[in-house]
């Protein structure tokens, strides 16, 4: 399956999970020589709303807005309208068919990603919520529905990327969090359970990896980014 033509600088989306806009801006300035894609999630958005999003966009970078909208279809549609046409590249939603359809109606220039199963969930978490399918089957089922409903892509772990790519083809955008340098099995040291390395995620079919703590908590974030980019190139990124 040919990989999409995505430049190396756009492969890693840095999750700016920090408590205020000043820290986020500091992190962007530190990393922008190497990456130009940044994720604003719940913590930072609650601290600055669109101010930091607009600041990142004004510097010429891309933004993934990861607020994982989940509500009745009309509310999700109205929320997506608020994000639309502001220059944000990717936004995330959860949902069943009706929610995804409503979000798609409002999506305009945004690319919408449906979250399949959070990367912090393992099999036991699904059982605890009364679900009987395996994580992989549920991810595939939800991704297939999202694609059929016209969604641009999905968020899934690197453990499912290969099967998603094989079964659903090249059109679907696959964005993969749960990235840990040098590890394809969780050691239980944090909340992420379905983890892989950046290289493995891209090699098996992910278009982008989302990386937070391994970069934002590192003493030398640039060194971590460079190692991950080397790992991605070693594993078959086409453009570097
Ligand atoms: O620090 P870490 O690398 O685990 O950060 C992963 C980021 O990706 C977090 O911002 C988290 O909200 C996000 N994310 C995730 N799993 C998903 C969707 C988003 O970990 N399914």
Instruction: Tell me what the mean pLDDT of segment 196-209 comes to.
Output: 96
Instruction: Tell me what the mean pLDDT of segment 83-104 comes to.
Output: 96
Report the range of poorest mean pLDDT among 71-80, 118-127, 231-240: 231-240
List the alpha helices (DSSP H) in 106-157.
123-128, 135-148
Residue whose CB lies within 8 A of the most ligand 1 atoms, among 153, 210, 214, 225, for a mutation test = 210
Instruction: Tell me, yes or no, whether 98 lies in a domain.
Output: yes
Instruction: Tell me, yes or no, whether 3 lies in a domain.
Output: no
If pLDDT is split at 50, 70 and 90, which confidence band does 10 have? very high
Instruction: Tell me, yes or no, whether 65 lies in a domain.
Output: yes
Residue 227: is it exposed, middle or buried by C-beta count within 10 angstroms (0-12/13-18/19+)?
Answer: middle
Given 25, 68, 77, 166, the catalytic residue: 68
pTM here is 0.94
- Indicate whether residue 212 lines ligand 1 (CB < 6 A): yes
- Indicate whether residue 66 lines ligand 1 (CB < 6 A): yes
Whichever domain contains 189, its CATH number is 3.20.20.70
- Evaluate if residue 23 carries a pLDDT over 90: yes
pLDDT recorded at residue 187: 86
User: For this structure, is 62 an active site residue?
Assistant: no
Instruction: Tell me, yes or no, whether 184 lies in a domain.
Output: yes
Residue 5: is it exposed, middle or buried by C-beta count within 10 angstroms (0-12/13-18/19+)?
Answer: exposed
Cα(157) to centroid of ligand 1, in Å? Answer: 10
User: Domain range for residue 125?
Assistant: 9-239
Domains in the chain: how many in total? 1
What Cα–Cα distance (Å) separates residue 134 from each residue in 71, 125, 188? 25, 11, 20
If pLDDT is split at 50, 70 and 90, which confidence band does 80 have? very high
Cα(223) to centroid of ligand 1, in Å? Answer: 21
pLDDT digits (tens, 9 = 90+) for 49-72: 999 999 999 999 999 999 999 999
């Amino acid at each position: 399956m040919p990989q999409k033509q995505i430049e190396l600088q756009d492969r890693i989306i840095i999750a700016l999970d920090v408590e205020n806009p000043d820290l986020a801006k500091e992190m962007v300035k530190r990393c922008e020589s190497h990456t130009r894609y940044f994720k604003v999630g719940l913590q930072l958005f609650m601290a600055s709303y669109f101010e930091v999003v607009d600041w990142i966009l004004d510097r010429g970078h891309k933004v993934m807005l990861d607020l994982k909208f989940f509500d009745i279809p009309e509310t999700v549609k109205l929320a997506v309208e608020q994000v639309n046409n502001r220059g944000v590249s990717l936004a995330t939603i959860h949902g069943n068919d009706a929610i995804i359809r409503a979000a798609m109606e409002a999506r305009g220039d945004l690319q919408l990603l449906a979250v399949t199963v959070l990367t912090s969930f393992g099999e036991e978490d699904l059982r605890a919520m009364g679900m009987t399918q395996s994580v992989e089957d549920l991810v595939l089922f939800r991704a297939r529905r999202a694609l059929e409903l016209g969604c641009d892509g999905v968020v899934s772990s690197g453990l499912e990327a290969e099967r998603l790519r094989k079964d659903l083809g090249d059109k679907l955008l696959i964005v993969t969090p749960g990235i840990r340098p040098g590890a394809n099995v969780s050691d239980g040291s944090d909340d992420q359970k379905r983890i892989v390395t950046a290289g493995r995620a891209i090699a098996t079919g992910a278009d982008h990896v989302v990386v937070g703590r391994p970069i934002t908590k590192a003493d030398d974030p640039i060194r971590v980014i460079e190692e991950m980019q080397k790992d991605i190139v070693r594993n078959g990124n086409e453009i570097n």
